[in-house]
């Protein structure tokens, strides 16, 4: 995840970056473990590893510089690699 | 932060005894209390840490219901297969609240006990009858967009911010407690939160030292269970209005509202009007409403949100 | 600069540096939590103190007194700065109000004191102990109430801060210039 953040430039000032990385890693594990979220359509099934799920689950990490789109790219790359 | 002493309780009774003292408070996840302590809105002199108590299980009750330990974290409660299957409204409500980080730490009991986010409660420069009884309510006549349209008083118009509590109210939960003398009781959720009246600083029915040990849900009632939370952002924001509804195929059901009152807002008599549609129900729920210019939109928003739920329920039972 | 001759090739066209997705050199530091922010530069600024701002509790009026004795008595608190003891205070070119207000208060939460201490928590605790007495003057906070007394500026009129009024939305030219 750290390497993906560097590759996709998922930061500007870097102040939120450690938290973004910690949350991304943990969040992907939660998706894999079947923990549901607000956007999970069917609560009797496992959540999808979708962009909508990633966005909702990362909503506790705020970035004043607005690096969100690159953060999402980094997360998607790591999630894709894991799938 | 003011200096305080700290202990880790070993049993619920021990915790209750320790918390009976003046200035003592329980701490579990700390996701509301710590913030308030940093702002010196809460100034406990003694913290009783209850995290180690064995109150973190979800177990079936004898009559087909579910007993949820006070320390069960919000994430775990929402994800529990029995809750997702039989009390879907509760899962949906929990998942609509806060962020993943907060849900992982926040507890069932703490969620019920969270204090209002009224901006005047949070501003020590402004008089507030919750912070200093008798000092006045700065919200009345101030910026009221996020505040109560019903259930308030001349002393306070703060709302209760919990989504979980709205679901619990619709599901007829009971709050089980233990007192310092060891006696136990079960408080119906409808009676758990107090309306402000003349005493906004008294927010629940709990007596000094009384510790919530679990919340009990009766056996499942089925139906289509929906929680819709309407807010300024798609996530990580409190409800302007929320609707927790259970709709049966015969058109009957239950409705509880969040974001509009000092406690989850439900009227079993109003629910009898469900077959007649959203307007009939919210008309009764808001019969005593005293909205301001800034928050009057909540009345119509609640009606429309409930209407959307009913329409969808008819189309997809 | 006049563009009156055809562009020919220039060094940027080689795309050896500009145009390449080069990793930022601060990336490895920021993604491993090792990037030092200004207040973490213990090597160049050892033993830094921390400040906690006290904002005015009123929107308009005057500070009558600031009693910092309680704050100063706290362990770790080094000083409480106010407009009275901070020396001559300037105002930046783009500031509307002095950065340490006092005795006049320009707006709600205007910084009127800074508690300086050895740790952030000590400074914050000190701030809670500073007692400020105010004279609260009547102010205008309600746009709707003031609407009838609003003045529409003339096009070309220069305002207090040297900006020229070029027109409201309705009056702007519809053709791009």
Spatial separation of the C-alpha atoms in residues B77 and B54, rounded to whole Å: 16
Considering chain B, what is the average pLDDT of its residues? Answer: 97
Bridge partner residues of C65 (DSSP): C133
Contacts of C58 in chain B (CB under 8 A): 125
Q: Are B7 and B27 in contact (CB under 8 A)?
A: no
Question: pLDDT tens digit string along B197-233?
Answer: 999 999 999 999 999 999 999 999 999 999 999 999 9
Please report the pLDDT score of residue B40 as a whole number: 93
Angle at A48 between CA A45 and CA A51, to 5 degrees: 150
Please report the pLDDT score of residue C177 as a whole number: 55
Q: State the helix-helix crossing angle for B297-315 and B278-285, rounded to 10 degrees.
A: 140
The yes/no answer to whether this complex scores an ipTM above 0.85 is: yes
If interface means Cβ-Cβ distance under 8 Å, which residues of chain B face chain C? 1-2, 38, 40, 125
Is A38 at the interface with chain B, CB within 8 A? yes
Contact C125 B125 (CB under 8 A): no
| Window from A7-16, B36-45, B149-158, C91-100 with minimum mean pLDDT | C91-100
Beta-carbon contacts of C10 under 8 Å, excluding residues fewer than 6 positions away, are none
Contact B1 C121 (CB under 8 A): yes
| Window from A12-26, B288-302, C85-99 with minimum mean pLDDT | C85-99
Contact C57 B125 (CB under 8 A): yes
Give the closest-approach CA distance of C108 to chain A in angstroms: 24
Residue whose token pair is 């927790």: B244
Picking from A18, A19, A67 by the largest number of C CB atoms within 10 A of its own CB, the best residue to mutate is: A18
Residue B306 to residues B89, B108, B260, B267, B283, Cα–Cα distance (Å): 14, 26, 14, 14, 12
pTM of the model: 0.93
For C50, the enclosing helix (H) or strand (E) is strand C50-55
Beta-carbon contacts of C45 under 8 Å, excluding residues fewer than 6 positions away, are C39
> E-strand spans in B16-93?
24-27, 46-49, 58-60, 66-69
Contact A37 B100 (CB under 8 A): yes
Q: Are C108 and C89 in contact (CB under 8 A)?
A: no
Please report the pLDDT score of residue B55 as a whole number: 98
Q: Is the dihedral of CA C92, C97, C98, C99 positive or negative?
A: negative
pLDDT band of residue C173 (cuts 50, 70, 90) is low
Among candidates A2, A7, A15 on the partner chain, residue whose Cβ is nearest the Cβ of C32: A2
For C111, the enclosing helix (H) or strand (E) is strand C111-117
- Residues B124-162 as b/e (b if ≥16 CB within 10 A, e otherwise) read eebebbbbeeeeebbbbeeebebbbbbbbbebbbbbbbb
Contact C26 A14 (CB under 8 A): yes
Question: Interface partners of A (3+ CB pairs, < 8 Å)?
Answer: B, C
More confident: C145 or B229? B229
Contact C125 B38 (CB under 8 A): no
């Amino acid at each position: 995840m750290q390497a993906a953040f560097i590759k996709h430039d998922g930061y500007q000032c870097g102040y939120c970056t450690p938290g973004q990385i910690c949350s991304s890693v943990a969040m992907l594990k939660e998706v894999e473990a079947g923990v549901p979220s607000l956007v999970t359509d069917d609560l009797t099934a496992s959540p999808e590893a979708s962009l909508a799920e990633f966005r909702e689950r990362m909503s506790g990490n705020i970035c004043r510089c607005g690096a969100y789109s690159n953060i999402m790219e980094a997360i998607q790359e790591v999630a894709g690699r894991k799938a | 932060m003011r200096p305080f002493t700290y202990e880790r309780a070993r049993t619920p009774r021990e915790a209750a005894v320790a918390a009976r003292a003046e200035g003592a408070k329980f701490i579990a996840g700390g996701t509301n209390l710590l913030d308030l302590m940093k702002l010196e809105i809460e100034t406990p002199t003694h913290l009783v840490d209850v995290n180690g108590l064995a109150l973190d299980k979800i177990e079936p009750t004898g009559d087909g219901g579910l007993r949820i330990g006070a320390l069960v974290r919000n994430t775990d409660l929402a994800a529990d297969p029995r809750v997702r299957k039989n009390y879907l409204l509760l899962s949906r409500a929990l998942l609509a609240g806060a962020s993943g980080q907060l849900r992982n730490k926040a507890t069932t009991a703490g969620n019920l006990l969270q204090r209002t986010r009224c901006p005047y409660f949070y501003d020590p420069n402004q008089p507030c009858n919750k912070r200093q009884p008798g000092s006045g309510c700065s919200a009345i006549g101030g910026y009221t967009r996020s505040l109560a349209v019903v259930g308030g008083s001349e002393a306070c118009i703060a709302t209760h911010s919990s989504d979980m509590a709205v679901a619990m109210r619709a599901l007829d939960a009971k709050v089980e407690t233990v007192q310092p003398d060891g006696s136990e009781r079960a408080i119906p959720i409808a009676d758990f939160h107090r309306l402000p009246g003349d005493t906004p600083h008294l927010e629940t029915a709990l007596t000094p030292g009384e510790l919530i040990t679990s919340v009990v849900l009766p056996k499942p009632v089925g139906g289509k269970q929906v929680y819709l939370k309407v807010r300024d952002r798609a996530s990580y924001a409190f409800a302007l209005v929320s609707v927790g509804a259970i709709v049966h195929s015969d058109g009957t059901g239950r409705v509880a509202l969040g974001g509009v009152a000092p406690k989850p807002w439900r009227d079993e008599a109003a629910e009898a009007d469900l077959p007649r549609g959203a307007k009939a129900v919210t008309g009764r729920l808001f019969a005593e409403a005293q909205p301001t210019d800034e928050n009057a939109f909540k009345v119509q928003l609640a009606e429309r949100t409930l209407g959307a739920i009913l329409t969808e329920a008819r189309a997809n039972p | 600069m006049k563009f009156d001759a055809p562009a020919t090739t220039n060094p940027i066209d080689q795309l050896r540096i500009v145009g390449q997705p080069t990793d930022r050199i601060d990336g490895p530091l920021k993604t491993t939590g090792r990037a030092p922010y200004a207040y973490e530069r213990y090597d160049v600024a050892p033993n830094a103190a921390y400040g906690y701002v006290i904002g005015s509790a009123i929107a308009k009026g005057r500070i009558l007194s600031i009693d910092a004795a309680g704050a100063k008595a706290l362990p770790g608190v080094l000083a409480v700065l106010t407009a009275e003891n901070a020396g001559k205070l300037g105002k930046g070119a783009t500031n509307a109000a002095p950065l340490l207000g006092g005795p006049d208060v320009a707006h709600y939460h205007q910084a009127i004191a800074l508690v300086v201490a050895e740790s952030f928590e000590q400074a914050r605790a000190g701030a809670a102990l500073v007692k400020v007495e105010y004279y609260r003057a009547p102010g205008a906070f309600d746009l709707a109430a003031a609407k009838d007394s609003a003045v529409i500026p003339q096009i070309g009129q220069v305002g207090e801060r040297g900006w020229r009024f070029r027109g409201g939305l309705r009056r702007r030219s519809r053709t791009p210039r």
